[in-house]
Every structure is written in structure tokens, then in C-alpha cells.
Structure 1
Amino acid sequence: MKLKSVIFSLFIFLLVAPLSIHASQESAIDKLELISDEALQMVKSSRYEDAKKLLDYFSEQFLTYTMDDRPFSMDELRIVTVAHNDAVEATTDANMSHNERVNRVTKFRLVMDAITSSHQPMWTEMEGPILTVFGGLKEAAVNGDNEDFHSKLNSFLSMYDVIYPSLKLDIAADRIQKLDARINFIDHYRPRVLTEASSQKELEILESDLKNIFDEMTEDDADPSLWWVIISTGSIIIVTLSYVGWRKYKGDKEIEKAKQRSSKLKN
């Protein structure tokens, strides 16, 4: 019984200890992400001064976190810093429209989620709106509808700008460069895209690239840490059952030998 208790205790420790360590490591960065979300809610409610205070508090906490743990690469630090500065400006610039303020702080919120998420970051939720607008953009180009084309392209560029910093955190640099090249071509050569079939192919390629990126980021619904727990737990159970089975087999053998010795003594 004591041996079984030891095995059970070891099983619980191996299962819970890594999760506890993981939770303590995440607590600080999770707090930063929560502050970014609260700042966004404040801006959505037009409480710009309160949002500014939260963003200032974020800056203090972020500095402490990075100095203590140094968990980010230089690129990640730069992206977070730029997004944070843009968000702060959105809370203080009285000439900025409410929608632009919301977009800037949303951009910052998505960056913090991309930093902390190991799968399906929040920016992937923009797939539907972005691809819908892009579909309208393609249709306007094919129909030669100049006004609708410019309107849809501007809408697409605005939404893409919101998720762009997060893309740079999650997508390989060479793929981002290809996206940039195609988007810049479409934006810079708008008249050609409206009138030339060869230039409109860039729209098809860009749409395909965007779909592939969204699909790759959403295809795995399971948190990798969950798979680790499943595999680890399964291995422990198998080892435990095997050991218990071996002990039972050995015990049965001992009982059988005892019976044989007893039988011989009687004879």
C-alpha cells in the first residue's frame, strides 16, 4: 500500500508541477496582456484619459518585466514598443478620429496577444472581414468600378494595418516581405490594376497568400502544452500500470511457490 501511495504521489507531482511552474512564469505577461485589453475597452468607451493611465502603468510594468526576465527578442521589443507608442498617441491626440483611436489601440492589443498566444492568436479573427473586403476589391477591379475599387482597397489597407505588427511576430520574415511587395504594388499602381488583366493577377496571388496564412494559423486547435500534458500523463499511467502488473505477477509467483512448499511438507 505504501508503494502504491508513493507511485500515486509521484504521478500527481509530475502532472501538476510543470503546470504550476508554467503558470507562475506566465502570470506577469498575462497581467500585461490584461492591461492592454482594459486600455482598449476604455478607448472604445471614449475614456481616453483612463486609457492613457493604463498605458502608462503598462509601460512601468513592461520595463520591470523585461529587465527581470529578458523574455523577448529585439524584434519583439521593437514591435511592442512601437505599437505601445502609437496607442499612447491615440489617447492624447484630440484631432484623431474615434475610429482611428480604436484601431491603434486594437493594434497594440493584438500585438500583446500574439506575444502571449501559442496558437490561434486573436488577429486570426480578422480573417472574415479582411477576406470579405478583399473579395469586393477583386470584383470592383474586374468590373472597372473606379470608386468602389479605391474604397475597398482603402478599407483593406486599414484592416491589414491593424494586424500587420502581429503578423510580423507570427509569420516568417520572407513571407511578410512578399506580402509587402504585392500590397505595395497594388496600392502604388491602382490604375493599372483597374485596367490590366495581368496586374489583376496580383490580386489573386495576394488573396491566396492571405488565405494560406490564416489557414496555417488556425488549423491546429489544440494548445501544444495540452498535448504535452496528455502525452506525459499517458506515459506515467502506462508505466504505473506496468509496474503494478509486474508486482502482482511476482506476488502470484510467490504464493504459488509457497503452496508448492506447503504441499511438499505435507507429503
Structure 2
Amino acid sequence: MKLFKGLVISAVVVAWFFFLFDTGFAKQADELKKLDQLADEALQFTLAERYGDSLKSLQQLESEMNRALSHPYLFSMDEVRMLQLSLSDAKGALEGEAIHGEEAVHAVMKFRFVLDAIGSSYQPLWADMEDRVMGAFHAFQDSARGEPASEKGMEEAFRRFAKLYDVIYPSILLDFPVETVKNMDARVQFIETHIGNPQKRDELIAETDLLEADLRSLFSDVKEDEADPSLWWVIISTGGMILLALSYAGYRKYRGEKKRYEKKQND
């Protein structure tokens, strides 16, 4: 009887775990879908220079987002922080009388990428920035290697790269280990600090080469074929069904052995 109770309890626990997992996953997906639609709308308005309409979309999104964030366990603390900070930046870029078009687009795009990074582990939108980011970086790299190197040219080229890097930075923090991002940050900061120091030129070029390798690895890793999240859910669900089936099979075996034992005793 104890074995039977143990099997039943195990089956119930497994079933309850997968029910909670499925419910939480579906709830987050529903909430993110609503936010994605509003973020897409805001980005389209920004690209069309309809900044007032874009701001209204983000304000509506903020209301929806605050409601979604009130649900416990739907988002991690890091996700909440990135959402709030990037949304604040996006709204700030659209407020005021003098709105800089490129800055507004980058800010709204950054927020859109964060939303996508949270909701998808498969082909994130920020990875589509590879050509633009690497193009800007190579322009800076060429400027740094030029003879003679132009300090002003290097600073301008680096600034263009840094703006694009900033657009994908919050998403990178969500998608990669902290140590990976810290190493890249250290290289970026070293280059920014010593960009105008001719005595550090050799070190700067060396750090530039290492940063190029880091960036290539970043985009390469995120574009590797990953299992579709829905496929993982099928695998997990199947695993749950197998556990339940094994529990039931164990119970049937227990019942069969008990009957044989009772029959033997009666004989």
C-alpha cells in the first residue's frame, strides 16, 4: 500500500509541476504578445517621424507592462529592470520639443529588442543588427590602423559604433552570461579611454582585434541552430507523460505481484 501511495503522490507532483510550468509559460507569452504589438507600432511611428503617436503607443504599452509585471514569477528581476530602463529611455527620446530622429529610432528599437530577447530564445531580433554593428566597427578599426591615425576620425568612427552597440547592449545582457558581457565592456572602455593616446596605440589595436573576435563570437553563437521553444515544450511534456506512464506501470506491477502473492498464500 505504501508503494501505491508513493507512486500516486509522485504522479500528482509531476502533473502539478508541468501544469504550473505550462500555465506560467503561456501567461508570459500572452502578455509579451500584447507588448510586442504595441512596441512594433511605436517603432513604425518613430520611423515615420510620427513621434507623438509613438509616445502614445509607449504610454499605453507602459500601462499594459505594469499590469503584466504585477504578476509574480512571470519575469525575472533582470528582465523587469531591463524593461523599465529601456522603456524610460525610449519615452525620454520622444519627449520634448527638439527630438533627434536617429536617437529616437535607436531608443525605441533598443526597447523592442529587449522585449523580444525576453520572449524568444530563438533567432532574436537584435541579431539582425550584425551587419550594421560590424560595419561600424570595421570602419573604426580601419581608422585606428590608418597612417597617420586621425584622432578625430577615430573618435567619430568609434562613436558611430558605440551608438549601435548601445542599441543591442541590454539584449546581450539578457541573452549571455555576465562574464561574457563584462569582458566586452572592459575592451570597449579601454578603447574609449585611450583612443586619443598615441602611446597606447599598439595596445588599442590589440584590444580592437580582441573585441572584433568577441563580437563575431557573439553573433555567431546567437545564430547557431537552437531547438524551437515549442519543441522543447513537446520534449518536456513527453517526459512528463513518460513519468506518469512509468508510475502507472509501477502500480500495475505492484498490484500484479500482490495478487500472485495472495494466491500463493491461499494455495
Q: Same fold (TM over 0.5)?
A: yes
Q: Give ranges in structure 1 of 5+ residues lacking alignment.
A: 1-16, 237-267
1:31 counterpart SS class: helix
Q: Which moved more, 1:157-166 or 1:70-79?
A: 70-79
Q: For 1:201-216, list aligned pairs within 5 A.
A: 201-216=206-221
Is 2:179 the partner of 1:174? yes
Q: Are residue 115 (structure 1) and residue 118 (structure 2) matched?
A: yes
The alignment's TM-score, normalised by the length of structure 2, stands at 0.74
Equivalent residues, number = 222
Instruction: Say whether residues 1:26 and 2:25 are aligned partners.
Output: no
Question: Match of 1:102, SS?
Answer: helix
1:80 and 2:83 correspond: yes
What secondary structure sits across from 1:164 in the alignment? helix
Deviates more, 1:67-76 or 1:180-189: 67-76
2:120 maps to 1:106: no
Q: Say which SS state the counterpart of residue 95 (structure 1) adopts.
A: coil
Which secondary structure state, in structure 2, belongs to the residue aligned with residue 191 of structure 1?
coil
Match of 2:251?
Answer: none
Partner of 2:58: 55
Give me the CA root mean square deviation. 2.8
1:151 is the counterpart of 2:151: no
Report % sequence identity: 35
Q: 1:224 aligns with which of 225, 229, 238?
A: 229
State the Cα deviation string for residues 73-108 of structure 1 (Å, max 9, x = none): 212111110111111112212223111111111111
State the Cα deviation string for residues 27-53 of structure 1 (Å, max 9, x = none): 221111111111111111111121111
Q: CA deviation at 1:154?
A: 1.0
Quick check: 1:42–1:48 contact (8 Å CA) kept in 2?
A: yes
| Cα distance change, pair 232–58 in 1 and its aligned pair in 2 (3 A) | closer
Per-residue deviation, 1:198: 3.0
Kindly indicate whether residue 203 of structure 2 is the aligned counterpart of residue 198 of structure 1: yes
For the 8 Å contact 2:39–2:61, the answer to whether it is kept is yes
Q: 1:130 aligns with which of 133, 152, 164?
A: 133
TM-score of the superposition, structure 1-length normalised?
0.74
Question: Alpha-carbon deviation of 1:192?
Answer: 3.3
1:65 to 56, 63, 68: 68
Within 2, Cα distance between the matches of 1:106 and 1:54?
A: 14
Misfit runs of 4+, over 4 Å: 20-25, 230-233
Cα distance between partner residues in 2 of 1:127 and 1:194: 32
* Structure 1 Cα separation of the partners of residues 31 and 63 of structure 2: 12
CA contact (8 A) 1:142 1:194 kept: no
Matches for 1:249-264 after TM superposition, within 5 Å: none
Query: What is the alpha-carbon distance in structure 2 between the residues aligned to residue 152 and residue 193 of structure 1?
Result: 17
User: d(CA) in 2 for partners of 1:199 and 1:54?
Assistant: 43
Inter-partner Cα distance in structure 2 for 1:225 and 1:193: 53
Cα distance in 2 between the residues matched to 1:229 and 1:70: 22
- Provide, for residues 233-265 of structure 1, a one-character-per-residue CA deviation record: whole Å limited to 9, x for no partner: 8xx9xxxxxxxxxxxxxxxxxxxxxxxxxxxxx
Q: Which residue of structure 2 lines up, in the alignment, with residue 242 of structure 1?
A: none
Go from structure 1 to structure 2 and tell me whether the alpha carbon gap of 1:129 and 1:194 turns closer, same or farther (over 3 Å shift). farther
Distance 1:71 1:193, change over 3 A: farther
Residues 134-185 of structure 1, C-alpha deviations (whole Å, 9 max, x = no match): 1222121111431432222111001001111111111111111111111011
> Does the CA contact (< 8 Å) of 1:186 and 1:193 recur in 2?
no
Matched with 2:11 is: none
1:239 match: none
- Alpha carbons 1:104, 1:162 under 8 Å: kept: yes
**Letter in structure 2 aligned against 1:87:** A
- Highest Rg: 1 or 2? 1
Q: 1:107-139, CA deviations, whole angstroms, 9 ceiling, x for partnerless residues?
A: 111111111112121111111111122122212
* Aligned-pair CA distance for 1:72: 1.3
For structure 2, which runs of at least 5 residues remain unmatched after alignment?
1-18, 242-267
